Amino acid sequence: MTSICPECACPYDGNLLCCPECGCPNPRIDDHKKAALRRQAMEELTELSQTKEQLAELEADAITAQDNHDTARSLLRSLKRVFVRCDNFTGRSRRSEFWTFIAFNVVVSVILYIILFSSIGRDYITISEANTDEEYWHRLIHSCLNDHLFITLLIIGYLLLILLPLLSVTVRRLHDTNRSGLWLLMAIVPFFVAKPLGISPYIGLLFLSIMLLLDSAPSNKYGKLLRINK
């Protein structure tokens, strides 16, 4: 490969750094150097961009993990407050505290339900063939107490464990909406009068649930509006 000196027009080996006649720098070498520098700069920019993307992903993962940790810690605090205040039927409980407790118990109840009916298995076919509701419940209770006593006692024990906390947090949630805890009877009374009146026994539970979904009322006779630190 031959280069031509731009100053003296002398041909020379293109691999030389400069013209041997006049010492003028070889422009071909300069172009190669510039191209190499440009490639190096582009590679460095690409590596820097990849590093930034990796750092951004790590930061996003860290934020997600922290949010999950804070959420789990907040849920545990809410559950702890309900159980610690299980004998307290005064004061107030925020909507998040009440529904966290309800959601937790729904999940546990579904798990226990699945375990119970999985253990009953084929026996449930005979139970479900009952002609009346009374016979159905008689067969189910008989099967649970005689053939599946352990899981039955586990479920009964769990229900007894959450009964008092459930009643107290429901009363406090009603207080938080500026309502008396006696509204809790709305979920119970219809089961005794629904059949003569020809209405669903669950209608009272529906209205009570709507009350429990309402936001907190301002400070009232049941106490000041609570501010829960997350």
* Residue 11 clears pLDDT 80, i.e. is over it: no
Q: How high is the pLDDT of residue 29?
A: 62
pLDDT band, residue 116 (cuts 50/70/90): confident
Spans of all domains in the chain:
2-64, 85-213
Average pLDDT for residues 176-189, to the nearest whole number?
A: 89
Measured distance CA(82)–CA(170) in Å, rounded: 10
Distances (CA, A) of 180 to 65, 107, 162, 170, 220: 41, 28, 21, 11, 12
Q: How many other C-beta atoms lie within 10 A of the C-beta of residue 66?
A: 10
Kindly report whether the global pTM for this prediction surpasses the value 0.85.
no
Whether the CB-CB separation of 178 and 222 falls below 8 Å is answered with: yes
* Residue 160 clears pLDDT 90, i.e. is over it: yes
Q: How high is the pLDDT of residue 229?
A: 47
Structure tokens at 46: 């690409």
Residue with more model confidence, 136 or 172: 172
Measured distance CA(173)–CA(99) in Å, rounded: 10
Residue with more model confidence, 41 or 123: 123
